[in-house]
Structure 1
Amino acid sequence: MKENSMSVHVGVSEFRKAYLDHLKSSRLTQNENRSKLLLLFYATECGLKWLLMRDIYKIARTESVLKKQLFWGHDLLEFAKEAKIGKNFFTGGSVFKIRDRNNPCTCSLKELHQVWRYGKELDPVDEQNASIMLKNICQWLSKK
Structure 2
Amino acid sequence: MKLLIINGPNINLLGIREKKIYGNTSYEKFCEDLIGNAKEQSIEVDIVQSNIEGEIINYIHDALGTYDGIVINPGAYTHYSIAIYDAIKAVNIPTIEVHISNIYSREEYRRKSVIAPACIGQISGFGVYGYTLAIIGIKNYLESVNQ
Q: What is the TM-score of this pair, normalised by structure 2?
A: 0.30
Report which of the two has the higher share of strand. Answer: 2
